[in-house]
Amino acid sequence: MAAAPKTKTNGLLMPKATAVWLIENTMLTFRQIADFTLLTEIEVEALANEEIGRGLVGRNPIEHRELTQDEITKCEADPAARLRQAKRELPPVKTRSKGPRYTPISKRSDKPDAIAFILKNHPEITDAQICKLVGTTKPTVASVRDRSHPNTPNLRPRHPAELGLCTYQEFETAVAKGLRAIGKDPDTVKAQIEAERQKQSDALQESENERKKASGFDFSNFLSGAMGGSNSSSSSDDDFQQ
């Protein structure tokens, strides 16, 4: 017996654009987004990885009265819950999503590099924090970690703040939160890192000084020999004249 078709969501005018917004701004699962937009999970994952819909601008369902922030928050807390479309008579909800900010299309290709940087240098930052900092999804983080990402050979780990995906303050806050979660004091760890950097800097400076000293030429012996030779020549000339 064939499965019952999904009931069409009334008033959802741009399902793919809505899915893009939900991917980028919430922690909802692909299944939850697929159920709400009437797309398949494969389509949602492809949108998340920009395999389809490249350049598609997200459509905020909150501003268009299709969802409420409370509904999104409830479903984020319970992956088994399904999103319920807001009733049209409700006033527009002006509260912003707690998810990551919208990332310009020109910077989306930088996300895997930022993820690679965090995984390499800050293992204390959780996947959920990475998603919020970079504006990505957990499957993308996992693909970078296990090197199954399509662009793995070309990844260059780069700081997400330098790429403009977050601020340095937001990044430091995430680092501190991650360290506290594993029982470490952020200030102590920061002091240890600074001390190690200073030690490396001092060692590098000392090595550079030794290199310059070893490559220098001592002219003192050469000059003294030349002066001695000149005096000897003068004495010989005086003896010849006498």
Which is more confident, 165 or 103? 165
- In order, the DSSP letters of 2-68 are PPPPPPPPTT---HHHHHHHHHHH----HHHHHHHHT--HHHHHHHHTTSSSTTPPP--TTTTTS--
Nearest residue to 192 via CA among 181, 179, 178: 179
Per cent of the chain over pLDDT 90 is 28
Integer CA distances (angstroms), 87 to 12, 18, 171, in order:
12, 17, 38
Whether the CB-CB separation of 115 and 123 falls below 8 Å is answered with: no
Q: Which residue ranges make up each domain of the chain?
A: 15-77, 105-181
What does pTM read for this prediction?
0.43
Confidence of residue 214 (pLDDT cuts 50, 70, 90): confident
Does 208 score more than 60 pLDDT?
A: yes
Angle at which helix 168-181 crosses helix 186-215, to 10 degrees, equals 110
d(CA 201, CA 211): 15
